[in-house]
Structure 1
Amino acid sequence: MLEAYTIKNMYDLNETIAADLFEGATYPWEVLSKIKDFIAELGPKLPKDKFEQRGEHVWVAKSATVFDSAYLGDYCIIDEDAEVRQCAFIRGNAIVGKGAVVGNSTELKNVVLFNKVQVPHYNYVGDSVLGNFAHMGAGSITSNVKSDKKLVVVKDTQSDDKCETGLKKFGAMLGDHVEVGCNSVLNPGTCIGRWSNVYPTSCVRGCIPDHHIYKNQDNIVPKED
């Protein structure tokens, strides 16, 4: 079992409006197929004094800032004090947390962004879950489909443990406070534990433990206190 990459070890569920989505799941990727239905159920229950409905399945907090040029696709919740900047493209099935930033030309699809997440500059985030205060540097992306189109397997290269996900589309699971450097590519099935950092221009595959620094595939080192 990939114990380090379970929901309880990667995320503070107090830091998302979608906490109930994770109920009954062990691993965060198990919720990817449920995001759309969860939004459809939660949206009508959101307090009308704090949220306004902008489409059949689109709810935006009144305190959020959404620029006119941003696109909000179907099945979308933008939580309080979030900022969706110019030309952001939220394709759908997306939950953007309190105080989160979705930057210019950033694209989201089938994702949960916890509170205070920042994807502020030219990012692509698809079929992924990003924990509280996770940050993706400019140009960094989640690659969510393998080039051979096979199902994604999560592999812990340090322990040789693995998990068959049964998913063809699976981007990355970022724990709370993860920092991803500019122009990095997170390959399908990447999991990064809490408080870990990824060097800029990295090509990441597999799992990175919490409180570690990813320099390259053969150089993943513990953080110093």
Structure 2
Amino acid sequence: MSIEITVSELYDLKETIAAGLLEGLTYPWEALPKIHDFIIDLGESLPKDIYEERGEYIWVAKSAKVAPTACLNGPLIVDEDAEIRHCAFVRGNAIVGKGAVVGNSTELKNVILFNKVQVPHYNYVGDSILGFKAHMGAGSITSNVKSDKTLVVVKGEGISIETGLKKMGAMLGDNVEVGCNSVLNPGTVIGRNTNIYPASMVRGVIPAGSIYKKATEIAGKREGYF
């Protein structure tokens, strides 16, 4: 297991149209206040033979599938071959990567979903970044505001970083698997290739290549497990 919290440690930037936003940043949460303007700037330059503008600051790839019951608000980019399913609610400031799935009654707000991300069933994802092929099981959510409304601090073993943000959900590295009905508390960072047990309450920095059962029981994956 290893502690991974930087952009380069968590993400393969070849797997997102938002690479230009994340490049040069140390920590991924630094991108959260910049998503809105980045989408607007990028959207204006997207090739019209691949993307169509479906509303104010809403760009959707022609190969994407969007259910007629989905609610889309801009700024928003839906990349190629993505799927926005029945009654999904995109509140804005969202990038949905190539081949990503946003499912039934899932809500997005101020997020970057890398390519092949799946948030397919009753998920809330706010002020968060989900890496390549990350998957959130049914009913799992990101909690993005502390109950006392103070600024979010990212904490882990030997780590305490003030983000300066009132709203920050979770940073999921590539290939993270979150079990059903789990809650990722504000400031959660999960390293690549980690599995979170169903119905978990997760807080702080979770090492890469681990299996999270509870805060006091985090095991490293066997070699060859992933």
TM over 0.5: yes
Counterpart of 2:212 in structure 1 is 214
Counterpart of 1:93 in structure 2 is 93
TM-score (normalizing by structure 1): 0.97
Counterpart of 2:20 in structure 1 is 20
**Alpha-carbon distance in structure 1 between the residues aligned to 2:5 and 2:158:** 14
Q: What percent identity do the matched residue pairs reach?
A: 69
| SS of alignment partner, residue 39 of structure 1 | helix
**Alpha-carbon distance in structure 2 between the residues aligned to 1:138 and 1:201:** 10
1:35 aligns with 2:27: no
CA contact (8 A) 2:68 2:86 kept: yes
Counterpart of 2:4 in structure 1 is 4
Q: Output the amino acid matched with 1:73.
A: N
1:190 aligns with 2:193: no
1:116 aligns with 2:116: yes
Counterpart of 2:62 in structure 1 is 62
1:3 CA drift (Å): 6.7
Q: Deviations over 1:107-159 (max 9, x none)?
A: 00000000000000000000000000000000000000000000000001xx2
Q: Output the amino acid matched with 2:104.
A: N
CA contact (8 A) 2:3 2:206 kept: no
**Alpha-carbon distance in structure 2 between the residues aligned to 1:203 and 1:69:** 32
**Alpha-carbon distance in structure 2 between the residues aligned to 1:167 and 1:223:** 32
**Alpha-carbon distance in structure 1 between the residues aligned to 2:215 and 2:202:** 7
Q: Output the amino acid matched with 1:31.
A: A
1:4 CA drift (Å): 1.9
Counterpart of 2:197 in structure 1 is 199
Counterpart of 1:145 in structure 2 is 145
**Alpha-carbon distance in structure 1 between the residues aligned to 2:81 and 2:149:** 38
Q: Output the amino acid matched with 2:186.
A: P
Q: Output the amino acid matched with 1:129.
A: I
Counterpart of 2:106 in structure 1 is 106
- Would you say how many aligned residue pairs link Structure 1 and Structure 2? 222
Q: Output the amino acid matched with 2:216.
A: D
**Alpha-carbon distance in structure 2 between the residues aligned to 1:25 and 1:87:** 34
Q: Output the amino acid matched with 2:118.
A: Q
1:24 CA drift (Å): 2.0
Structure 1 gap segments, 5+ residues each: none
Counterpart of 1:82 in structure 2 is 82
1:166 aligns with 2:164: yes
| SS of alignment partner, residue 166 of structure 1 | coil
| SS of alignment partner, residue 80 of structure 1 | coil
| SS of alignment partner, residue 95 of structure 1 | strand
CA contact (8 A) 2:3 2:205 kept: no
**Alpha-carbon distance in structure 2 between the residues aligned to 1:8 and 1:45:** 26
| SS of alignment partner, residue 144 of structure 2 | coil
CA contact (8 A) 2:78 2:97 kept: yes
Runs of 4 or more, structure 1, over 6 Å off, are none
Structure 2 gap segments, 5+ residues each: none
Q: Deviations over 1:18-38 (max 9, x none)?
A: 100012210000000000000
| SS of alignment partner, residue 31 of structure 1 | helix
Q: Output the amino acid matched with 1:175.
A: G
TM-score (normalizing by structure 2): 0.97
